[in-house]
Amino acid sequence: MNIIKLLKINNIFTLLNATSGLLCIFFAIIGNFRIAVVLLIIAAFFDYFDGKSSRKRKIANKFGKELDSLADIISFGLAPCVFVFLLLKDIRFVWVYILYLLAGLIRLARFNITKTGNYFEGMPMTVSGIVVPILYFVLSGSNLSYIYYIYFILATFLMVSSIRFKKL
């Protein structure tokens, strides 16, 4: 199968989403948390534009859907976990990160095999991941680390729930 024929313009946005997620992890590792959270926000913009361009150009396909899910698990699953872990440096709550990541994987796998109308079943992975930078800016300077853990636990349940979230 020719990979060049599979790639469409919307897939470039998807790849930029994944790249932003990976860069977020790198910047978190070196302790530059401000740039890391900005990269999470940039990843969300790329994720938005990938879907928008796919629908506008009517070029949505199974390859793009799978690629998007893989990028999302990097940017909105793994990157937020690494970011918060490195920010708080507290191994006692490693189980929270594991549950969050597993819920994200399950949510994306369910999304890929489920046909829905104008709604998502369970909180979308992008939404769950974008809350982390928002919390970072809101909590900046305060010692309210437990809020991250409460949020991750809540997001874990919302992602695998049957609650319907309206598509934008």
Q: How many residues does the chain have?
A: 168
pLDDT at 62: 82
Nearest-angstrom CA–CA distance, 15 and 2: 17
Judge residue 135's burial from the number of C-beta atoms within 10 Å of its C-beta, 0-12 exposed, 13-18 middle, 19 or more buried.
middle
End-to-end CA distance of the chain: 33
pLDDT at residue 120, rounded to an integer: 85
Please give the mean pLDDT across all residues of the chain: 90
Longest dimension (CA), the chain: 52
What is the average per-residue pLDDT within 142-150? 83
**CA–CA distance, 102 with 88 (Å, rounded to integer):** 21
Measured between alpha carbons, how far is 158 from 131 in angstroms, rounded to an integer? 13
Q: Kindly report the pTM of this predicted structure.
A: 0.90
**pLDDT tier at 152, thresholds 50, 70, 90:** very high
CB 6 within 8 A of CB 63: yes
Q: Where do runs of H (alpha helix) occur along the chain?
A: 3-6, 9-29, 33-57, 62-72, 79-88, 94-113, 125-139, 145-160
Examine the pLDDT at 85 and tell me if it is beyond 70: yes
Q: How is residue 106 written in tokens? A: 């399950």
**Cβ(133)–Cβ(37) below 8 Å:** yes
Residue 77 tokens read as 């699953």
